[in-house]
Structure 1
C-alpha cells in the first residue's frame, strides 16, 4: 500500500499571536495534496498576500473528467477564524486517499462523479487569525446583491468600513480576489454541469448544526425548492438520527452579498446547481469549556483534542452522503410530475410561517 501521512485527527487551532510564516491547516493541506499527487488534479486558483507572506489558494479535484458528469464541491475557510471547516474537508480528503487503496466501490463511484475541493478559501485571514480577508472584507458578504428586507445590524453586512466586522467591501468595487476566485471555480467546475452540489463549511452559530440553502437575500422561494426537499427527505430517511436542521438561510436571518445566493442565481438555466452551507454550532463547545470565550479561535472552533475528533467524526457521514447523492442523482431527482407535489410539501414545511403578507409562495416552483 502507498504510504500516507498519519491523520492527526485533531489540529490545534492557532491564535494570531502564535502564527509564524505559515499555519497548521495550510501545511496539512499541502501534505495531503503531495500524498495524493497521482490522484488529485491540483492547481493554484489564485494567490493572496498578507504582511509580506504569500499564500496559494488551492483547489483539488478527483474523479470523472467528463464535463457532463455530476459533481460536488466542498469548500471551507471563507472566514479565517473558522478553522474547523477546513480541518473537516482536509480530513475527508485524506480519508479518500486511504480508501482508494482498497475500496473498489469508491473507484467505481469516481468513474462517474467529480469531487472538487477548496479547503482554505481565505488563507491570509486564517494566518492572521481574523474573520475577514487581509483587506478587512467579509468574503461571505462580498457579492454585489443587496438583501430585499431588513438585515441584522452589522451582522447582515455593512459598508461603513473594514474597522467594523462584517464589512461587505466598497459599493461598486470589484469583488475581492478570494471570493471572485471561489465563484470562478464554481462556474468552471460545478454549475456548468447538468447537475452539481456544493457544501461550504462554517462554524459559530447556535447550539445545533444546520444545513442552509439559498436564499439569504430574500424570503422568496428558490427555483429548485422541490429538489432541496427531496435531498432533505433522503438524508432523513438514510440517516434518521442526523443532527442537522435543514432549511433556507432566510428562515434564520437575511444578509447582503451572500456568495452562494450569487453563485446560484448566476448558474445557467440549463443546469441544476444546489449549494448548501454547513453551519457547525459552536455554542455547545463554549458551554462545555467556557474558557474558549477568551480566545478568538475558541469562539468558532473546538479547542480540546477529543472534541475536535468528535466533530470530524460527526460530519464525515454528511460529506459521504452528499458524494453518494451526487453519484446517484438520476435515481432521486424528482421528475416533472413530482415537482409540483414536492413544491407544495416544501412550502408547507419551510416557508408558510415565514412568509410575510403579500409574499406568496408559488406552488409550481
Structure 2
C-alpha cells in the first residue's frame, strides 16, 4: 500500500527509524510493543542497543518520550543517537568505548501520547505514576498520582491492573539490559519543571536517602570537575515533591535486591518555563509549554545536553576507576547527606 502524502504522523518516530536504518549493522533494534491508538494509527515502541553485549560489562540506558507532551525529551535522546550513528563511520575512539560498554536506547516510550499531544498514554494513564509502588509520605494532591479518573491528570491506572504496555516495555528493557550488570546508569529525559535544568536521582516515593548515595555524590563531583560550567541542579527528586508509582523507584528497588550490583537511575528535567519566558506565544501553541518552539532555541537545547549523555557513557565504561571503595563509602555518604539531606 502506498503511504499517504504529507508529513509522517509522528516525525520523531520517522527520524528514529531512519537512524536505525543508517546504523545497521552496528545497531540492534527490536519492537518491544505495538501501541494502538483508539480510532487512530498504531505505533511501535523501539529498543535500540549497541556496544559490547557481555553482561559482565557496564551499560547506560537513555529514555525519552515517557510523557507525550514532552517531545523535546525524545528529541534529545534521538539527537544523541544520531551523534553516535554519525561517528561510527570514522571515530575509532568511539569504537574503543563501545568495546567497554553497552548503550541502550528507548527514545519514544509513549508514542501514542506523543501523537495525541497528551501527557498520558492512549488509555489515559501517566506512565510515571504507573508502577506498583506507593509513597511512604504525603504526596501533593493529584500531582503525586491519583486513581480517581483517567479524565484527570496524573492518573495511575486502576488498582491491581498490570503495568501499561509502555511501562512493561521500559521495565523489560531495563531488566534485560541494565539490572543484570555489575554497574549501570539510566537517564530519562523530561521537560516541564521550573526554569532550571535539573538532574534528579531517587527517591520519588520517600524522603529517605537512597542506598547508593555515595556513588551519586562521587559521580556528581566528577561531572562538576569535568564540566565546571554545566547548567544542572543535581538533587534527589524528593527535594521537590513526592509521588506514587514512579517507574525508576520501582526498578531501582529491584536492583537493590542484589547487593553486588549498582544501578543509578537519573531523570533530566529540562526547565521549560525558561522557554515560555523568552517566547510567551508558545503558551498558545499545540506543542504547549514543554517544548522550545523557535527553531534556533530547539537546536540549542539538542546541543546543550550532548555533553551530559556522553559523560554518562564514559563514566559507566570506567566506573571501576571512580566508584568509592567500601572503606570510603561512609565518608562520601556523609558528605552527600550534608549536601542533600541537611537536618
Corresponding residue number in structure 2 for 1:110: 98
Measure how far apart 1:52 and its partner are. 3.9
Pair 1:30-2:20 in alignment: no
Q: Please report the RMSD computed on the Cα atoms of aligned residues, expressed in angstroms.
A: 1.2
Deviations 1:64-94 (A, max 9, x none): 0111110000000000010001111111111
Pair 1:88-2:101 in alignment: no
Corresponding residue number in structure 2 for 1:11: none
Measure how far apart 1:204 and its partner are. 0.5
- Select 1:334's aligned residue among 324, 327, 335: 324
* Residues 68 and 193, structure 1, Cα contact 8 Å, conserved in 2: yes
For the residues of structure 2 that align with 1:141 and 1:322, how far apart are their CA atoms? Answer: 26
* Residues 260 and 275, structure 1, Cα contact 8 Å, conserved in 2: yes
For the residues of structure 2 that align with 1:22 and 1:265, how far apart are their CA atoms? Answer: 37
Measure how far apart 1:296 and its partner are. 4.4
Corresponding residue number in structure 2 for 1:46: 33
Corresponding residue number in structure 2 for 1:284: 274
Measure how far apart 1:295 and its partner are. 2.4
For the residues of structure 1 that align with 2:104 and 2:52, how far apart are their CA atoms? Answer: 11
Pair 1:158-2:146 in alignment: yes
Corresponding residue number in structure 2 for 1:304: 294
Aligned length: 335
Corresponding residue number in structure 2 for 1:294: 284
- Select 1:213's aligned residue among 187, 201, 207: 201
Aligned positions of 1:157-306 closer than 5 A: 157-267=145-255, 268-269=257-258, 270-306=260-296
Deviations 1:264-283 (A, max 9, x none): 00114131100000000000
For the residues of structure 2 that align with 1:93 and 1:145, how far apart are their CA atoms? Answer: 31
Aligned positions of 1:70-85 closer than 5 A: 70-85=58-73
For the residues of structure 2 that align with 1:87 and 1:102, how far apart are their CA atoms? Answer: 24
Measure how far apart 1:20 and its partner are. 7.4
* Residues 286 and 298, structure 1, Cα contact 8 Å, conserved in 2: no
Moved over 4 A (4+): none
Give 3-state SS (helix, strand or coil) of 1:191's partner: coil
* Residues 81 and 296, structure 1, Cα contact 8 Å, conserved in 2: no
* Residues 21 and 53, structure 1, Cα contact 8 Å, conserved in 2: no
Give 3-state SS (helix, strand or coil) of 1:216's partner: coil
Point out where structure 1 has 5 or more consecutive residues left out of the alignment: 1-18, 354-365
Give 3-state SS (helix, strand or coil) of 1:237's partner: helix
Give 3-state SS (helix, strand or coil) of 1:211's partner: strand
Corresponding residue number in structure 1 for 2:3: none
Measure how far apart 1:181 and its partner are. 1.3
For the residues of structure 2 that align with 1:329 and 1:21, how far apart are their CA atoms? Answer: 41
Give 3-state SS (helix, strand or coil) of 1:202's partner: strand
For the residues of structure 2 that align with 1:332 and 1:79, how far apart are their CA atoms? Answer: 33
For the residues of structure 1 that align with 2:98 and 2:92, how far apart are their CA atoms? Answer: 10
* Residues 196 and 326, structure 1, Cα contact 8 Å, conserved in 2: yes
Point out where structure 2 has 5 or more consecutive residues left out of the alignment: 1-5
Pair 1:123-2:111 in alignment: yes
For the residues of structure 2 that align with 1:278 and 1:61, how far apart are their CA atoms? Answer: 21
Corresponding residue number in structure 2 for 1:8: none
